[in-house]
């Protein structure tokens, strides 16, 4: 859990939409409340796309800054969290594309194995893991999914978004989301899948230190002149 700020106590009973309205009216300190409230979800979404903690942090930070700059575009037609996740996924995809371009410059031989189903004959890391290491084994299995399947799986199964929210965040149709989920589950080993439900809460753990770091960076950015809404 992230450490609550002094502003979170006074805003605990406010909805996301109420806070957005107050921020637009000039109470910019309340933006931190939104960050503390949704930071873990944003990080998990970017981590699902990128597969690496450091890249995911950068993308999460960029997502919050982009959300701040485009707060006037939030019309309340969707939930704030859905609108925010759509931004987070876009930012993560942008980071992934930039990273891929750098990899292409570094080497002509691009390994496309990440986009292929895992070899069923290869031993999985969780085969010899103890029950105490089950959470790490689950995360490793999820990480082996191709990014498009991994993101759909994390939003739907780890974050618990319903089908309409997850498909809206990914900007795909509900049938397409269901196809991705079906394929993602097929990639995970049957013995892992039987136990996955009880352990999902600890996948991509979001420590208070990471939350504080992202909040501090974004708040530093927000000290610059605010946009004209």
pLDDT average, residue stretch 64-84: 92
Residue 71 lies in a domain: yes
Residue 122 lies in a domain: no
- Residue reference for tokens 């995809």: 93
Task: State the pLDDT at residue 139.
Answer: 82
Residue 190 lies in a domain: yes
* Residue 214 to residues 73, 142, 191, Cα–Cα distance (Å): 23, 24, 36
Q: Mark out the alpha helices in 107-161 (DSSP H runs).
A: 134-143, 147-153
With H, G, I as helix, E, B as strand and everything else as coil, classify residue 121: coil
CA 154 to CA 200: how far, in whole Å?
Answer: 9
Residue 56 lies in a domain: yes
pLDDT in tens, 164-220: 999 999 999 999 999 999 999 888 765 465 555 556 666 677 767 888 999 999 999
Look at 61-70, 150-159, 220-229 and tell me which has the smallest mean pLDDT. Answer: 220-229
Task: State the pLDDT at residue 113.
Answer: 37
Residue 113 lies in a domain: no
pLDDT in tens, 94-123: 988 887 665 554 444 334 334 445 454 444
How many structural domains is the chain composed of?
A: 1
Residue 101 lies in a domain: yes
Residue 114 lies in a domain: no
Residue 123 lies in a domain: no
CB 99 within 8 A of CB 58: no
Look at 54-68, 69-83, 141-155, 181-195 and tell me which has the smallest mean pLDDT. Answer: 181-195
pLDDT > 70: percent of the chain: 73
- Domain holding 134, by residue range, is 8-108+128-222
CATH of the domain at 193: 1.20.140.160
pTM for the structure as a whole: 0.69
Kindly state the helix (H) or strand (E) to which residue 53 belongs, with its residue range.
helix 53-69
Contacts of 106 (CB under 8 A, 6+ apart): none
């Amino acid at each position: 859990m992230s450490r609550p700020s002094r502003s979170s106590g006074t805003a605990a009973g406010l909805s996301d939409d109420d806070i957005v309205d107050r921020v637009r009216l000039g109470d910019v300190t309340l933006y931190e409340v939104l960050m503390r409230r949704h930071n873990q979800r944003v990080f998990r979404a970017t981590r699902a796309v990128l597969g690496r903690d450091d890249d995911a942090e950068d993308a999460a930070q960029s997502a919050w800054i982009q959300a701040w700059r485009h707060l006037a575009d939030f019309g309340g037609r969707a939930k704030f969290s859905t609108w925010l996740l759509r931004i987070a996924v876009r930012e993560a995809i942008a980071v992934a594309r930039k990273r891929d371009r750098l990899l292409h410059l570094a080497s002509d031989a691009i390994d496309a194995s990440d986009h292929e189903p895992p070899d069923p004959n290869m031993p999985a890391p969780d085969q010899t893991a103890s029950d105490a290491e089950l959470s790490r084994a689950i995360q490793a299995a999820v990480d082996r999914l191709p990014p498009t399947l991994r993101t759909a799986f994390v939003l739907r199964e780890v974050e618990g978004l319903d089908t309409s929210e997850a498909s809206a965040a990914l900007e795909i149709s509900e049938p397409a989301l269901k196809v991705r989920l079906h394929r993602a589950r097929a990639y995970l080993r049957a013995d892992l899948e039987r136990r996955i439900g009880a352990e999902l809460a600890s996948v991509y753990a979001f420590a208070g230190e990471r939350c504080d770091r992202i909040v501090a960076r974004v708040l530093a950015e927000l000290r610059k002149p605010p946009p004209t809404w």
